[in-house]
Amino acid sequence: MDFELNEEQRDFQRTMREFVDKEIKPVASEMERSGEYPTEIVDKLKDMGLFGMTIPEEYGGLDLDAVSFAIVFEEIARGWMGIAGTLGSHSLSCWMIAQFGTDDQKAKYLPALATGERRTGVGLTEPDAGSDLQGIRTTAIRDGDHYIVNGRKTWITNARHADPLPVMVKTDPSADPRHKGMSVLLIEADTPGYEVLRDIGKLGYKGPESCEVVIDNARVPVENLLGGVEGRGMQQALPALESGRINIAARAVGIAQAAYDAALDYSRDRKAFGQPISDFQAIQLKLADIATNLQAARLLTYWAASEQAAGKRADMQSGMAKYFASEVAINASLEAMRIHGGYGYSTEYVVERLYRDAPLMAIGEGTNDILRMIIAKSLISGRDSIG
């Protein structure tokens, strides 16, 4: 059993770490407070080719292995989790198009998506349908060589920059079971009737926009049906969400790492009763807990990524990684704040931002309660086992 990164992955990690330390960490807190969109950082991500992480090389992408994919999100989230969001939804969408798109769809969209000239996201969530994806109400009714699309999507990351936006719709609202009537349409930004209505205010996860999208009698060409066959939307979205959960798990590891780094450094510098607070047993116990859980979360995330890279079904593994790592991130950010004492509540220190960013990791790509059910069903069915 080899728990080490290979040489290529280690070099890639080193490159990402240097980039984050130089280009993201020094500006993250100020940009987050000001609400400034991170245009310069996004441009540098383009230059590095990171918008093509999940795109095959024949279309100009990097086609990263799943562990390297996780490393990107871990390192970027260590600097500023919001920046990771800019790449996250884009990469998931690109993977869907690369895996399930027609040859024409791949040739049309992937080269520009790989460079970041085009960007994208994923239009799944609705006001009344989050984890219950089959409960969506957005419809796409065939009318000759177009679909007439009506509905509303919410919490859509990158919505103002997405072109196209893959949108989950019901092409057969009366289908039973419901998933057989669900499809994905690639809706381009200039489509009449397609409107990004508003940005949603958030506790954390600043940087990328999270928007509400309204689709009102939009005419979308039939050729924009992902894969060219109706009724395969769930088959296309669910495998993508496995990759999305590895992305979220890796982001959570990055947050936990940043919290640990901040707590350790502060405990060495801060003095009380004439000595560094790192000398106190109470602080040492907290640091030990954070470090142990952090490393467990990292190994679980890399394990899930390795399973996916091997071509195995990884819904249980990615669910475990996302569930555990997100809880570790929440606890690590809280404990880091406690170690900082009153300063942990100050915007002058990074831990208050980590504390605000971490909870989203327990919600995004399926809430942790939903994932616990997925894990349990996989175990009960005998499809996966432990030990």
Per-residue model confidence (pLDDT) at position 320: 97
What does the block give as tokens for 337? 């704040």
Secondary-structure class of domain 133-230 per CATH: mainly beta
Three-state DSSP at 171 gives coil
Say how far apart CA 31 and CA 185 lie, in whole Å: 34
Q: Does domain 235-381 have CATH number 1.10.10.10?
A: no
pLDDT tens per residue across span 318-347: 999 999 999 999 999 999 999 999 999 999
For the question of residue 365 being annotated catalytic, the response is: yes
Catalytic residue among 126, 212, 335, 365: 365
Q: How many CA atoms lie within 13 A of 3 on its CB side?
A: 6
CATH 1.20.140.10 maps onto the chain at: 235-381
Nearest to 236 by CA among 89, 63, 96: 96
CATH 1.10.540.10 maps onto the chain at: 7-115
CATH 2.40.110.10 maps onto the chain at: 133-230
pLDDT tens per residue across span 237-270: 999 998 999 999 999 999 999 999 999 999 999 9
Per-residue model confidence (pLDDT) at position 1: 62
Per-residue model confidence (pLDDT) at position 385: 83
**291: alpha, beta or left? (left if phi > 0; alpha if psi -120 to 50):** alpha
Three-state DSSP at 210 gives strand
| Fold that domain 7-115 belongs to in CATH | Butyryl-Coa Dehydrogenase, subunit A; domain 1 (1.10.540)
Instruction: Confirm whether pTM is higher than 0.85.
Output: yes
Low-confidence ranges of the chain (pLDDT < 50): none
What angle is formed at CA 242 by the lines to CA 63 and CA 133, rounded to 5 degrees? 125
